[in-house]
Amino acid sequence: EPGASSCRGGAASRPQLAAGPAAHGRGTGVPVPRPLLLAPQLVAPRLAWARHRPLCAPEHSPLDRPLLASLQGLRTLVLGTRILEEQWHAAWDARYQEAASSFEDRDGKLDALGDEVERELELVGVTAIEDKLQDGVPAAIKTLLTAGIRVWMITGDKMETAVNIAVSCQLVKDPDSIMMLVVDEKQDDPATEADRLLDACMKRTLETYARSSGERVATLDQVPHSWQAEEMAVDGHTLNYILVDEALSSKLALLAAHCSGVVVSRSSPSQKAGVVRLMTAYEMERVTGTRRGLRRWYARYKRRLSGKMLSIGDGANDVAMLQTADVGVGIMGKEGRQATNNSDYAITQFRFLVPLLLVHGNLSYYRIARLIKYSFYKNITFAFVLFYYQFYNGFSGQALVDSITAAVFNVVFTSVPILLFAVLDRPVADLKTYIHYPRLYDKSELHTLTTASFWKTGVAQAVVHAAVCFFIPYYSIATSGRHNITDVYSLGKLAFVALLGTVNLEVALVARYWTVLFAVFVALSYFLVYPYMAIFPLIQLGLDIYDPANVGVSENVLASPTFWFVIIICNLTTFGLRFAERTADWSFKPQDTMIMAEHEEEARKQGKKWLQQNVSAESRLRLSSLGIEIPEEEEDTLRARHSPPRPTAPGAAHPGLPPA
Amino acid sequence: MPSSESDSQPSGSAAQGKKESKWHKRFVQQRLRGWSPILHARNAELYFLAVGVFCLALGIPILVASLNVVEYKARYDLAGVFADLDSNNQQELLWGAGDEGVLVMVEIEVTKRMTAPIYVVYELDSMFQNYRRYVRSFDPDNMHDGLEANKSGVSACEPFTYITGAPDAAFPNQGAILPCGQISQSLFNDTFELSARRRGGAAARELPINSSDIAWASDRDHLYGAVNAENFNTVPALRGGRGVFAPLNQDQHWMVWQRPAAQAQAQKLYGRIDSDLEADMIVTVLVYNRYNTYGFQGAKSLILTTNSWVGGKNVFLGSVYIVIGGLAWLAAASLFITYNLGLFWKRGYGDLSLLSWEAHLQPGDGRLRVQSRNRAGEHRVVPQ
């Protein structure tokens, strides 16, 4: 192994040097990646004693391997000293001033002059500054990646710093094999060079795919969308040439879409936004494919629903990016309030993104999905009860339910349970479960708010339930002696109470977390209708309103056995239909959260918190860096659970247990 | 002491303002304790079994009771002289007869014993009393407080507010109608006289119809006032039915009529017979036919029916109970067969290997009850 290869990675103080032609390929003939040089490596040849020695030969250099290794991920400066003669300096300075004001090849001249000074240096020391990440960033990024979220790092930092940070937060696993998409600033034709680099990276990605899947494909767009392996770094200078060219942009997007980690460095605020726009456009293009017309519109529409882009940043230069993405999250930091002022959500630490997405995001999706479906459901049910009646009254528009009762249906009788549901309900009792199992975030398996589920639960089910709540009362009313309730107002009361029971049972059945508050309001929402029926006509009479739709209707309806039998059978039928369907779902195609709920229940029976039971040491560490402490289990309970009682010395640790 | 009270009051309220209640904190922090219901197949089976038992236990008595109701129905609008006429001539005949009406006779053969009270019900087919414009044509203030309530001049009764459609000095009170509206205007005016005789026997026994208590007590006491009808169906050419001559809240037939029937085919209680009818009796119905259903191809029938504890004859409700009970048992049985017997698929309770991202695991790998001592894995996976 060449000695130099072990020096790759880390921060360099002179990035333009790192952008030179690749010193050595990777054996596959692919010209990337090129090595990153550490500051000490750059400085080493300038040291007085190291003139003719190999860079990293550990036996000769004070900048030896262990030191270099320990500098990985730090911002390093190597300090050297050299004593200059005063006349020499005066002469040099004059030439320097001349070069600094030169119009031709100023950089080259300055570099050459710098070289004259920076040689034969005495090594003074090395400083290393850790550019400290916030707490829990690696754990947070790992959690997000596990959740199926693609994470990109876009920064204004230098490439080496950026890659370093990406390594330390686990976005990039192997800095040695990262694909560098960096065009030399001195290149005459940077666009062609960028194209060449892109092609090389794509070729390498294709080969990796062929190796991993055993299937050889000609172009990258034939690779499955979900397959990602390589990691890539691109810098702002290169992006300058790529983003202005459509062909290059689409190549970059295609390539980046198949990279598991992407680092964009030295990017300007507008480039940050440009990258977000580019990837949004790419995703749209991918799903529409060759579709045209209505199918193209539908594909774009579905994509808009299924995937969102989130930007998170803390600085003023992130503002454009935060505003371009679907969701912008600003971190309140030391860099001012520009980011938070322009964001949708503001948090104080990067790691809080995890609960924001995994807990609040999950819950929000679940609750809004149910809220929407249920709101449609209860209104369509009500409307269809009225609609069915039109077939029997010559489509004259006669309402089955009087207007006051219709108004209170939505406002009083059915609003509170679903609002409480949308505030309190959750599929798992312990919200930490979402962070422990980040995969629960992935909604591709869970059809909670798809078009199909909306039409099924929100509409079709409403039509069926409305039919039950209308036709059973309609055909059940019969002259029954003194309590004959065959008039249109009595039928309305029957259908209304049946309907009310049905929609309240529906919200009770879909609820996955019954709090006392919720239970009380579900019960109240239904049972309040009886006092309402009894008292409302009295109020009307008290106000001298003689309303044939209410006065006297309730007392006759409530006294009729037909009413009670109709209510019972309507609610048994609609509840039974839904209950059977939900149970079948639960038994035969359980959602992940259903299995989790069963698991929780079982743990509760054993008197434990189930996370405590299931968490591994690795997860405990991850959760702990995210600020979630899960208490260790008591040792004796562990022992009691895992092994039959066996004689052990008192106080001796169980041999099978890790140290506490 | 008042002074100490006033001293402590501000500090107390300030402390209260700062301190959030325990419940409020739990609510906003999503920490309310709750219960996660598990929809286990076993619970559903028990539920559906119980529902089946409940429905059948209720449905069979309801159905039996309804089947035991004795009901006879006789259509009379085409009886007698009306039988061979077309609808124009039928109407001509009615109009010619005037207030007296056309006397027609139908006979009802009683084959099963009917015990009192026997309800006399008339049925108007295609009546559409539930038509919206018809239902709306009703002014409760008019019928409760009399014509004084109608001073505003705007009434839901339009155009049945004045006899000629507008105030007309030729009539008392400018021709304002009480009770107004189309429901009242179309008041049913056929009358019935019933008599019964034994089959083969000659002596007919009069069957008095008791109409004293057929309307809702609430209508009599609250909805309608003790006001006298005015200008109500007094002009033969403009009237739709009979007049009302008692105070409104004492005319039981009118009050029954005023509750619009929910179904297109209106069934209205006419009265009660308070004596039993033996089997093999023949009830002769004398109808003074005045009400015009011929214009809209309606049908008029008279129904004699007994009552059970669930009301009149209607097998629908009982049948629904039995069908739903049967379906509940079917649901329980199919869940048992497909799930518990494992014919379709039986999954482990809380089996983490069924999580969507654990597809590579064998079912049962993540069963909760099987736990190893290995704490390195995310969950303890032990092959069974």
Residue pLDDT, tens place only, A446-488:
556 777 888 999 999 999 999 999 999 999 987 656 567 899 9
Q: Look up residue A16 and give its two tokens.
A: 């333009």
Beta strands A345-347; A514-515: pairing state: unpaired
Residue from the list A579, A599, A641 with its beta carbon closest to the beta carbon of B44: A579
Total domains, chain B:
3
H-type alpha helices, A347-487: 353-354, 362-390, 403-408, 415-424, 432-436, 451-453, 461-476
Pick from A558, A565, A582, A632 the residue to mutate for testing the B interface (most B CBs within 10 Å).
A565
Chain A nearest-CA distance from B290, in A, is 24
Q: pLDDT tens digits for chain B (384 residues)?
A: 343 334 444 444 444 555 678 889 999 888 899 999 999 899 999 999 999 999 999 999 999 999 999 999 999 999 989 998 998 999 999 888 888 899 999 999 999 999 989 999 999 999 999 999 999 999 888 899 888 775 566 788 888 888 888 888 889 888 889 898 999 999 999 999 999 999 887 788 899 999 998 999 999 999 999 999 989 988 888 888 888 999 999 999 999 999 999 999 999 999 999 999 999 999 999 999 999 999 998 999 999 999 888 888 889 999 999 999 999 999 999 999 998 887 877 788 878 888 878 766 665 555 544 333 333 334 443 333
Query: Are B153 and B207 in a shared domain?
Result: yes
Q: Do B312 and A480 touch (CB under 8 A)?
A: yes
Torsion angle, alpha carbons of B83, B86, B89, B91, to 10: 80
Contacts of B30 in chain A (CB under 8 A): 424, 426, 431
The owner of tokens 């754990």 is A139
Beta strands B191-198; B281-289: pairing state: antiparallel
CATH 3.40.50.1000 for domain A137-351, yes or no, is yes
Query: Are B368 and B265 in a shared domain?
Result: no
In a domain, B32, yes or no: no
The owner of tokens 């056309």 is B102
Report the alpha-carbon distance of residue B312 to residue B118 in Å, rounded.
10
Q: How high is the pLDDT of residue A119?
A: 77
In a domain, B11, yes or no: no
Query: Are B149 and B250 in a shared domain?
Result: yes
Query: Are B173 and B227 in a shared domain?
Result: yes
In a domain, B2, yes or no: no
Least confident of A79-93, A161-175, A225-239, A244-258: A161-175
3-class DSSP assignment, residue A246: helix
Q: Look up residue A522 and give its two tokens.
A: 């579900």
The complex's ipTM? 0.89
In a domain, B90, yes or no: yes
In a domain, B63, yes or no: yes
Report the alpha-carbon distance of residue B185 to residue A63 in Å, rounded.
112
Query: Are B292 and B150 in a shared domain?
Result: yes
Torsion angle, alpha carbons of A319, A323, A327, A332, to 10: 20
In a domain, B18, yes or no: no
DSSP state of A645: -
Instruction: Determine contact: A226 vs chain B, CB below 8 A.
Output: no
Least confident of A102-106, A411-415, A577-581: A102-106
Contacts of B117 in chain A (CB under 8 A): 481
Q: Any idea where the domains of chain A sit in the sequence?
A: 36-51+58-130, 137-351, 358-589, 592-630
Residues A318-368: tens digit of each pLDDT? 899 999 999 999 998 776 788 889 999 999 999 999 999 999 988 998 899
Residue from the list B34, B130, B219 with its beta carbon closest to the beta carbon of A552: B219
3-class DSSP assignment, residue B95: helix
Query: Are B257 and B139 in a shared domain?
Result: yes
Report the alpha-carbon distance of residue A268 to residue A486 in Å, rounded.
76
* Domain span including residue B301: 71-307
Q: Which of B164, B54, B160, B123 is nearest to B263 (CA)?
A: B123
Query: Are B273 and B300 in a shared domain?
Result: yes
Length of chain B: 384
Q: Look up residue A324 and give its two tokens.
A: 């371009």
Query: Are B186 and B231 in a shared domain?
Result: yes
In a domain, B17, yes or no: no
Query: Are B43 and B120 in a shared domain?
Result: no
Pick from B133, B259, B339 the residue to mutate for testing the A interface (most A CBs within 10 Å).
B259
Residue from the list A548, A584, A598 with its beta carbon closest to the beta carbon of B223: A548
Instruction: Determine contact: B38 vs chain A, CB below 8 A.
Output: yes
Please tell me which residue, A278 or A57, carries the higher pLDDT value: A278
Q: What angle do CA A22, A28, A30 make, to 5 degrees?
A: 45
Within 576-595 of A, beta carbons closer than 8 Å to B belong to 576, 579-580, 582-584, 586-588, 590, 592, 594-595
Query: Are B128 and B64 in a shared domain?
Result: no
3-class DSSP assignment, residue B341: coil
Mean pLDDT, to the nearest integer, of A250-259? 90
Model-level pTM? 0.80
Q: Cis peptide before A21, with omega less than 30 degrees from 0?
A: no
DSSP state of A132: P
Mean pLDDT, to the nearest integer, of A126-131? 72
Mean pLDDT, to the nearest integer, of A171-181? 85
Query: Are B204 and B320 in a shared domain?
Result: no
Residue from the list B39, B216, B324 with its beta carbon closest to the beta carbon of A552: B216
Report the alpha-carbon distance of residue A26 to residue A17 in Å, rounded.
20
Q: Do A517 and B355 touch (CB under 8 A)?
A: no
Instruction: Determine contact: A476 vs chain B, CB below 8 A.
Output: yes
In a domain, B283, yes or no: yes
Contacts of A477 in chain B (CB under 8 A): 262-263, 314
Phi first, then psi, for residue B282 (nearest 5°) are -120, 125
3-class DSSP assignment, residue A232: strand
Report the alpha-carbon distance of residue A353 to residue A348 in Å, rounded.
9
Examine the pLDDT at A555 and tell me if it is beyond 60: yes
Within 164-203 of A, beta carbons closer than 8 Å to B belong to none
